[in-house]
Amino acid sequence: MQAKPVIAIVGRPNVGKSTLFNRIAGKQKAIVIDEPGATRDRNYMDCQWHDKAFTLIDTGGFEPTTEERILIQMREQTNLAIEEADVIIFLMDGKEGLTPSDVEIARQLRSRSKNVYYAPNKVDGERHEEFLTEFYRLGIDEVHAISAQHGLGVDELLAVLTKDFPEAQPADEQEDKPVAVAIVGKPNVGKSSLVNLICGKERTIANPTPGTTRDAIDTTVKVHGKQYLLIDTAGIRRKNKISLTLEKYSVIQALKSINRCDIALVLIDAEEGITEQDAKIVGLAYERGKACIIVVNKWDKIEKDNTTVGKFVEKIKGEIKFMDFSPIIFISALTGQRAPKIFALINEVYEQYTKRVGTSPLNDLVERSVRKNPMARFQNRSMNISYATQTGIKPPTFIFFVSHARGVHFSYERYLMNSIRSEFGFDKVPIKLIFRKKR
């Protein structure tokens, strides 16, 4: 599974970064889950343009509001985005012309070996085009004039930008590939210690080809004869003054790994408990239909009594209600306590994640469920399910043909979901239900 290229939009405040982000993301605005705890703020998006897939980052979302430090923080922002991205759109204001800040940002961009596309924004017609010549003072060969608000020039920019990107791979379901496991979490939670513990000192880099993000370290391991691909995101090198920004960026790094995995091991620091950042990372996995295992690390440092585990589990499940079926395991990567049990759990979760259910037992269950709890009427017409079938795995996906697709209440969807979970043993993984109007 290839890492998607990452495009970052950088530039001064108010040049239109978020407008461009929304224009490119278009209809792909992520579904906002109507559940507490799921990620709400959007600074990144998985996008596809023609047949090229990529992850888009809007650094605008990371702009701290403190006025006096804005330039220092902008510089930190830009540096972090540059570090993360494969391709950079440097957005400037075409109406305002070149500013000293633009010149400073361009200088920094030049010191990195990255693909940078210079795009003056707000160029809504010929009357603004005369301002463009001054951007060539940056010593660049090409300027891509756009209007993010009206969409002018955006397709042309994307065509140039994505021309060397790999084509989007169809979601494959090959069973013989190793189970891809991403190890994600905030900085300093013990990700590397866990990988080293699992691998001993044998860290085989499975993917030394260019284009795999240099900060995702892939390691292939064999446990009890079974192959696993561990995707470990190396934490960002700590820099001074950017702790808050760094936290935000650990989410982007998690995102890169989550996109490529089957199962995400979300590491939580036992001493700190589950944080908003952790819940956000779990939310990303949920939105992408990935299976999750919550790994509480540094458990050896906690004073325990009989109720400690129970309270801890309750607290975690309370924070991630949308993912409360995810198993939780308590370990110490330092002492190795309970860590070997992780693989038994991965196998169990993966088996559910790739499980297929026969059409006839599925329809039997649907019939029983509807008999027990009939569907509510919709626009004063009766509702029924004529047929259900499983159409995919990773996550297990079921299509229901119903009288009116819009007439299925979310509480009824949850009822059907719970019935499928308990009947067919999907108690540890996300499952997806799709309702279609019957022909």
pLDDT for the residue numbered 75 = 61
Same domain, 44 and 99: yes
Read off the tokens for 46. Answer: 């998985």
Please check whether residues 122 and 199 belong to one and the same domain.
no
Q: Does some domain include residue 103?
A: yes
pLDDT of residue 425: 96
**Structure token pair of residue 259:** 């996109």
167: in domain: no
Residues 123 and 191 in one domain: no
In a domain? residue 166: no
pLDDT of residue 243: 47
Q: Are residues 99 and 129 in the same domain?
A: yes
Contacts of 316 by beta carbon, 8 Å cutoff, 6+ apart? 268, 274, 294, 296, 328
Nearest to 432 by CA among 401, 402, 398, 408: 398
To the nearest 10°, report the CA torsion of 59, 61, 63, 65: 170
- Residue 66: its pLDDT value, please? 42
Domain that holds residue 125: 6-161
b/e per residue, 300-319, with b = 16+ CB within 10 A?
beeeeeeeeeeebeeebbeb
Dihedral angle of Cα 404, 406, 411, 412, to the nearest 10 degrees: 10
Q: Is residue 171 part of a domain?
A: no
Per-residue pLDDT of the chain (439 residues; tens, 9 = 90+): 567 888 989 888 788 888 898 888 874 443 333 343 333 344 677 788 888 888 888 775 444 344 555 556 556 665 666 777 889 999 999 988 898 888 888 887 888 778 999 999 999 877 666 778 889 999 898 999 999 988 999 999 999 999 989 887 665 545 568 999 999 988 788 887 888 888 764 443 333 333 333 345 678 888 888 899 988 765 444 444 444 455 556 667 778 788 889 999 999 999 999 988 889 889 989 988 999 999 999 999 998 888 889 999 999 999 999 899 999 999 998 888 888 899 999 999 999 999 999 999 999 999 999 999 999 999 998 999 999 999 999 999 999 999 998 999 999 999 999 999 999 999 999 999 999 998 7
Q: What is the spatial distance between Cα 309 and Cα 311, in angstroms, rounded to a whole number?
A: 6
Adjacent-strand bridge partners of 119: 91
**Beta-strand runs (E) in 147-283:** 179-185, 216-223, 226-233, 263-269
pLDDT given at position 237 = 42
Residue 173: inside a domain:
no
Q: Are residues 349 and 363 in the same domain?
A: no
Q: What domain count does the chain have?
A: 3
Number of Cβ atoms within 10 Å of the Cβ of 37:
20
pLDDT at 210: 32
Spatial contact of 320 and 37, defined as CB atoms under 8 Å apart:
yes
Do 156 and 26 sit in the same domain of this protein? Answer: yes
The answer on 95 and 74 residing in a single domain is yes
**Does residue 318 share a domain with residue 295?**
yes
Angle between helices 276-287 and 243-260 (to 10 degrees): 30
CATH number for position 125: 3.40.50.300
d(CA 46, CA 288): 10
Measured from the Cβ of residue 34, the count of other Cβ atoms closer than 10 Å reads 8
Residue 87 pLDDT: 93
Looking at residue 291, what is its pLDDT? 97
pLDDT at 207: 38
Model pLDDT, residue 174: 52
Return the pLDDT at 61.
44
Q: Are 97 and 131 contacting, i.e. CB atoms less than 8 angstroms apart? A: yes
Q: Is 423 exposed, middle or buried (0-12, 13-18, 19+ CB in 10 A)?
A: middle
Shared domain for 301 and 246, answered yes or no, is yes
Report the 10 Å Cβ neighbour count for 421. 17
Q: Are strands 179-185 and 87-93 parallel, antiparallel or unpaired?
A: unpaired
Give me the helix-helix angle, 359-372 and 410-424, nearest 10°. Answer: 130
Residues 6+ apart with CB under 8 A from 175: 354
Check if the beta carbon of residue 212 is closer than 8 Å to that of residue 233: no
Residues 342 and 372 in one domain: no
